[in-house]
Structure 1
Amino acid sequence: MPIITLTTDFGEKDYFAGAVKGAIYSELNDVRIVDISHSVSPFHISEAAYIIKNAYNSFPKGTVHIIGIDSELTPENKHLAVKLDGHYFICANNGILSLLASEIKPEKIVEINIHDKVETNFPVLDVFVKVACHLSRGGTLEVIGKSIQEIKYLKQLEPVVNSDKTQIIGHVLYIDNYGNVVTDITRKLFESVGKGRDFKISARGVSFSEIHENYSHAINFNVEKEKRREEDGKKLAVFNSAGYIELAIYKSNPSTVGSASTLFGLEYLDTVSINFE
């Protein structure tokens, strides 16, 4: 059974996500639709790229991924269908593909050219669904577009290592649903530069000298449960499941007690530094 995933900034209030699913089922009875996220911040390409980049490879090869972010068709924002790492991605040429393909070269890219056959002011519903269903039936990219080589390139800030390798300066890459702050500093970079040295992570007025393997490793479970309630709200740094350094608060709740983002005063692109001794 073919799989089509959806990653959009549609939210849950409006009819958009439901209409897209209905249109897919109207074309393909035998299909599985998976919502990766509909809560991407509006038009936030970098946020969408982080989410889809860390989700798509959990799906089997051949999965078709619709990305509905900043997808209105304009002379400067054409539509693409791409084969990358054995998966298909349908998106606008707004720079998101360059972020997805930063480490893996696309196998094929086509600029979708079926718009003259479809009347639409909602391209994800009409154009992207048509392309996704075509690919899910085993259709080829050449049928729905012309091959291209050049795509819009979006330059994302990258961590900087100083010349004597005593410091990494990175940035806030993403803030998750719990308000945890994901940096763009990977475990691989941290270990290759740090080489086991002591370190201090600094971000605004907060600092860390230890990185945990997961959230619960920061808690001393040898202490009786009743006596460790004060550890709820403990600040910690972890290597998250995507391999990035993340600054968090244990069992935080952004809507009540606050989160790492609000309590540390950190937002997207804020600076996070690591100094090695």
Structure 2
Amino acid sequence: MAIITLTTDFGYKDHFVGAIKGTIYSELEDAKIVDISHAISPFNIQECAYILKNSYKAFPKGTIHIVGVDAECTEENQHLAVYVDGHYFILANNGVSSLITSEIKPDKIVELKIPNPQPGAFPVLEIFVKVACHIARGGTLEVVGKKFDDLKELKEFAPRITNDGNTIAGSVIYIDNYGNVVTNIQKSLFEAYRKGRNFELLARNKKLTRIENNYSDIIDFNLDRNQRKGPGDLLALFNSANYIELAIYKSDPNTVGSASSLLGLDYRDTVTINFL
């Protein structure tokens, strides 16, 4: 039986997550359900896309991913099933698949057209769960939808290259549990335009001239403790997803603050790299 994952902005206070799981188990008693996250900020497509992109590859091929963020069906927000990179994604056409489909071409996309749909305000339960269970039983996408070619892409995910290739203007797409700030600038893009040059990374009133590979790389262990950088210091690094991230070493958003709070950075704020 294929794994079914859940990624939503429903939280845990309400009945939504429990109702989804209960309905799946009612349809498939031996279902395997994995929660990726139910703490996506409400309607935050960029945050959802980042979490989904960096989690789905850990699952085996054939996994079915239900994405319940901004899922109400409209003329511009169709319900889709996307088969890409060996995985099924059941979601709304709101751009949440952009980080995946911009790098890997989907094998198949269908607009969901299930027979006798139950109209209501809970489409993840009424539509997405039915489609997921159909696929988990071995059903094909052609049975639940018709071919679709107008997959929405979000321009916010693409940094702007300006100044004749000497500047990358990126933006914040995700803030993690530690308050670390993730930009939309990937390591591959950075290296393609850097061409061995020095650079400066500008975020609000801060300037950095190094990008680390690990958080602890800012520490020079050859120096005495009172002379070296450490907890509370700002750094930039290529995170595990190969995006440029700004962090405060060993930060705690609830006590000493975080990169997001101390720099005053929030979603869509600008981070700039100038090559010198």
1:261-276 alignment to 2 at 5 Å? 261-276=260-275
- Specify the alignment match of 1:239 in structure 2: 238
Any idea what SS the aligned residue of 2:97 has? helix
Deviation at 1:223, TM superposition (A): 5.7
Instruction: Tell me: CA distance 1:98–1:217, structure 2 relative to 1, closer, same or farther (3 Å).
Output: closer
- After superposition, give the CA deviation of every residue in 1:99-157 in whole Å (9 maximum; x if it has no partner): 43112111111111126243543111121111111111111001111122223343325
Query: Is 1:2–1:30's contact at 8 Å kept on the other side of the alignment?
Result: no
The whole-number CA distance in structure 2 between the counterparts of 1:108 and 1:3 is: 20
The residue that corresponds to 1:258 in the other structure is 257
8 Å contact kept, 2:117–2:126:
no
1:95 equivalent to 2:95? Answer: yes
TM-score by length of 1: 0.92
The match for 2:79 is 79
After superposition, residues 100-179 of structure 1 pair within 5 angstroms as 100-114=100-114, 116-156=116-156, 158-179=158-179
Letter in 1 for 2:245: E
How many residue pairs match? The answer is 276
Query: Aligned AA for 2:89?
Result: F
Instruction: For 1:214, give the aligned amino acid.
Output: N
Aligned-partner Cα distance in 1 for 2:189–2:158: 11
Percent of matched pairs sharing the same residue: 61
Provide the C-alpha distance between the structure 1 equivalents of 2:115 and 2:55, rounded to a whole number of angstroms. 29
Check the 8 A contact 2:218/2:229 in 1, yes or no.
Answer: no
User: Matches of residues 1-80 of structure 1 in structure 2 within 5 Å?
Assistant: 1-80=1-80
221 and 97 in structure 1: CA distance in 2 versus 1, 3 angstrom threshold? same
Partners of 1:156 and 1:188 in 2: CA distance: 18
1:75 Cα offset (Å): 3.5
1:140 maps to a residue whose letter is: T
Q: Deviations over 1:146-194 (max 9, x none)?
A: 1222233433252223344332221112111111111111111111211
The whole-number CA distance in structure 2 between the counterparts of 1:179 and 1:45 is 18
Compute the TM-score of the two structures, normalised by the length of structure 2: 0.92
The CA RMSD over aligned residues, in Å, is: 2.0
**Which SS does the other structure have where 1:174 is aligned?**
strand
Task: Output the amino acid matched with 2:110.
Answer: V
Partner of 2:272: helix, strand, or coil? strand
The unaligned stretches of length 5 or more in structure 2 are none
CA distance in 1, matches of 2:229, 2:97: 44
Alpha-carbon deviations, 1:186-213, whole Å to 9, x = none?
1111112112222211111111111111
> Cα distance, 1:26 vs. partner?
1.4
CA contact (8 A) 1:6 1:35 kept: yes
Name the CA distance, whole Å, in 2 between partners of 1:54 and 1:108: 21
Letter in 2 for 1:25: Y
The 2-side partners of 1:230 and 1:219 are apart by 5
For 1:8 and 1:117, the matched residues in 2 are separated by 21
Give the whole-Å Cα distance in 1 for the aligned partners of 2:158 and 2:117. Answer: 41
Aligned mates of 2:148, 2:56 — CA distance in 1: 23
User: Which 10-residue stretch deviates more, 75-84 or 58-67?
Assistant: 75-84
Q: State the distance in 1 between where 2:224 and 2:19 align.
A: 51
Mapped to 2, the partners of 1:250 and 1:145 lie a distance apart of 48
Match of 1:25, SS state, is helix
Match of 2:196 in 1: 196
Query: Is residue 204–residue 265 contact of structure 1 (8 Å, CA) maintained in 2?
Result: yes
Distance 2:93 2:165 in 1: 37
Q: Give the 3 Å change call, closer, same or farther, for CA 222–23 of structure 1 in structure 2.
A: farther
